[in-house]
């Protein structure tokens, strides 16, 4: 037997009230009226299908589609009736936290004959994250809606929306130290390689093709072997800032979509991880948010998949770790690692870079500019439906001095960090990151630090 709903309770109270009134007033008309409502309830209960006759089966299919200027995710849920005819079935699905359906419907209601199927089809715009569906809600009731039963039909499905990755070509990485494994970075050590390094005396077991015959001819009874500069791989550690206090969000008043500064941070981390792993280097990552999410060092496509899934599942946290200095992440990175920190920064983060240098690490800071993110280009700002024009918030007189003071404080913080021999990239998120990273990773810049920026002087 199913459960009663609000309609059933209302009709039942109405029947009881009419019978009570009929008894008190000794009125037959009220009694007949109560019998009509009672018959209504009886018809609904009588026509309600037995529970053993209800057999519903659900299947979910999640796929990516092209929806004009943006990629969309389409969800199809099929519910088949493998039992008796059902006069009234209502289906409902949940799109997932933070998703806004842009097309289709999440609900369906109607009759479902034996052997037939019903479909829920809806789509939403791609948004970074990992989405998992487990069930779909089904409600079976009689034609009058008097008695109904809720079913949770298993309909598993999942999809990972990875952060957008800007294209990055080969990066000229020359860290101070490397790992002892074959790679693409000259290690300044003699061994197997492509560039000539020097000559030494022959040792038993050296390949004959490496013999220097000219030098051997000038020194009778001695053999000499050519040495080449050994090429090794680098160890790179990514530290990604997902703290709530460093993140900014903008909601488009026209479409209702939200853009977050962390999305640019995640895109930069994914692009750097892919570029370094493609060059054969070892990469690890640590994400700071509500808690620390580590991805320990690894190589190749498997490691890239772990990093991208970690970035997809990251949520910007409001609590947890407030400062880099609250948690010392340097323990998970080797002493040879080049640490790349991607963070908009706050003033209290200066002490972390002091610890980073005290531990002997080489460091590179990529700092997305929150002012560029919040400002945008006033010429490209759309107007809302009511015709009121937006103004660039930086030009408002009530915020002008505050913006200039905050901008100056940020510049001083970045210059202070660059003087610790930490490379600093002041990244305008509206511009490509690759040229700045390529310049900052040059050996002369990586050794002495410095500030890389494309900002025009104010």
Q: What is the token pair recorded at 122?
A: 């809806």
pLDDT value, residue 218:
83
pTM above 0.85, yes or no: no
pLDDT of 27 reads 79
The answer to whether residue 170 sits within a structural domain is no
| pLDDT level of residue 237 (50, 70, 90 thresholds) | very high
One domain for residues 320 and 355: yes
pLDDT of 49: 76
Q: Do 226 and 239 belong together in one domain?
A: no
Any domain includes 168: no
pLDDT band per the 50, 70, 90 thresholds, residue 416 = very high
CB neighbours (10 Å) of residue 116?
12
Residues 145 and 217 in one domain: no
How high is the pLDDT of residue 388?
A: 37
Helix (H, G, I), strand (E, B) or coil at 44: helix
Same domain (yes/no): 136, 220: no
Q: Pick the range with the lowest mean pLDDT from 76-85, 93-102, 181-190, 245-254.
A: 181-190
In a domain, 67, yes or no: yes
Nearest to 119 by CA among 136, 102, 134, 132: 136
Q: How confident is the model at residue 368 (pLDDT cuts 50, 70, 90)?
A: very high
Same domain, 21 and 114: no
CA dihedral 326, 327, 328, 331 (to 10 degrees): 170
Residue in the block written with tokens 């570029």: 275
Task: Output the CA–CA distances (angstroms, integers) from residue 80 to 57, 95, 117, 133, 145, in the order listed.
Answer: 5, 20, 4, 18, 21
In this structure, the answer to whether residues 217 and 321 fall within a common structural domain is no
The C-alpha atoms of residue 259 and residue 242 are separated, in whole angstroms, by 15
Give the range with max mean pLDDT: 216-220, 233-237, 374-378: 233-237
User: What's the CA gap between 272 and 163, in Å, rounded?
Assistant: 12
CB 233 within 8 A of CB 181: yes
CA-to-CA distance for 45 and 27, rounded, in angstroms? 28
* Residue 11 sits in the same domain as residue 39: yes
According to the model, what pLDDT value does residue 457 have? 39
Q: Give the position of tokens 């008309």.
A: 29
Structure tokens given for 90: 């209502």
- Residue 165 lies inside a defined structural domain of this protein: no
**Cβ-contact 288, 297 below 8 angstroms:** no
Q: CB 46: neighbour CB atoms within 10 A?
A: 10
- Looking at the 3D structure of the chain, how many domains does it have? 4
Q: Work out whether strand 450-453 and strand 423-427 pair parallel, antiparallel, or are unpaired.
A: parallel
Domain presence at residue 183: no
Token representation of residue 273: 């991880």
Q: Residue 316 belongs to what domain range?
A: 235-377+388-453
């Amino acid at each position: 037997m199913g459960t009663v709903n609000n309609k059933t309770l209302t009709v039942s109270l109405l029947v009881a009230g009419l019978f009570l009134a009929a008894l008190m007033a000794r009125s037959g008309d009220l009694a007949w009226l109560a019998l009509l409502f009672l018959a209504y309830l009886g018809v609904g209960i009588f026509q309600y299908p037995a529970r053993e006759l209800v057999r519903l089966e659900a299947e979910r299919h999640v796929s990516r589609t092209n929806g004009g200027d943006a990629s969309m995710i389409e969800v199809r849920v099929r519910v088949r009736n493998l039992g008796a005819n059902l006069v009234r079935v209502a289906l409902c699905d949940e799109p997932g936290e933070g998703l806004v359906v842009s097309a289709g419907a999440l609900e369906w209601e109607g009759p479902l004959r034996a052997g037939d199927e019903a479909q829920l089809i809806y789509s939403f715009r791609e948004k970074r994250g990992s989405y998992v569906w487990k069930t779909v809600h089904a409600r079976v009731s009689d034609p009058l809606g008097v008695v109904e039963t809720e079913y949770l039909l298993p309909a598993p499905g999942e999809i990972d929306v990875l952060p957008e990755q800007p294209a990055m070509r080969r990066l000229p990485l020359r860290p101070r130290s490397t790992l002892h494994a074959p790679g693409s970075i000259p290690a300044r050590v003699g061994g197997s390689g492509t560039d000539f390094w020097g000559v030494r005396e022959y040792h038993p077991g050296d390949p004959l093709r490496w013999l220097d015959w000219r030098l051997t001819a000038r020194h009778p009874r001695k053999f000499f072997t050519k040495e080449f500069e050994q090429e090794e791989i680098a160890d790179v550690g990514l530290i990604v800032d997902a703290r709530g206090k460093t993140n900014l969000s903008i909601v488009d008043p026209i479409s209702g979509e939200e853009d977050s500064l962390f999305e640019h941070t995640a895109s930069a981390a994914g692009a750097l991880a892919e570029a370094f792993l493609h060059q054969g280097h070892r990469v690890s990552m640590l994400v700071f948010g509500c808690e620390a999410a580590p991805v320990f060092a690894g190589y190749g496509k498997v490691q890239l998949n772990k990093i991208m899934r970690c970035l997809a599942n990251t949520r910007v946290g409001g609590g947890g770790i407030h400062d880099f200095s609250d948690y010392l992440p340097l323990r998970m990175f080797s002493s040879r690692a080049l640490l790349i920190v991607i963070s908009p920064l706050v003033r209290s983060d200066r002490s972390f870079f002091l610890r980073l240098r005290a531990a002997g690490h080489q460091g590179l800071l990529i700092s997305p500019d929150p002012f560029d993110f919040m400002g945008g280009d006033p010429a490209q700002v759309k107007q809302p439906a009511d015709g009121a024009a937006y103004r660039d918030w930086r030009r408002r007189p009530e915020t002008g001095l505050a913006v200039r003071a905050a901008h100056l404080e940020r510049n001083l913080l970045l210059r202070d960090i660059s003087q610790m021999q930490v490379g600093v990239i002041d990244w305008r998120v509206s511009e490509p990151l690759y040229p700045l990273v390529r310049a900052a990773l040059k050996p002369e810049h990586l050794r002495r630090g410095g500030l890389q920026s494309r900002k025009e002087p104010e």
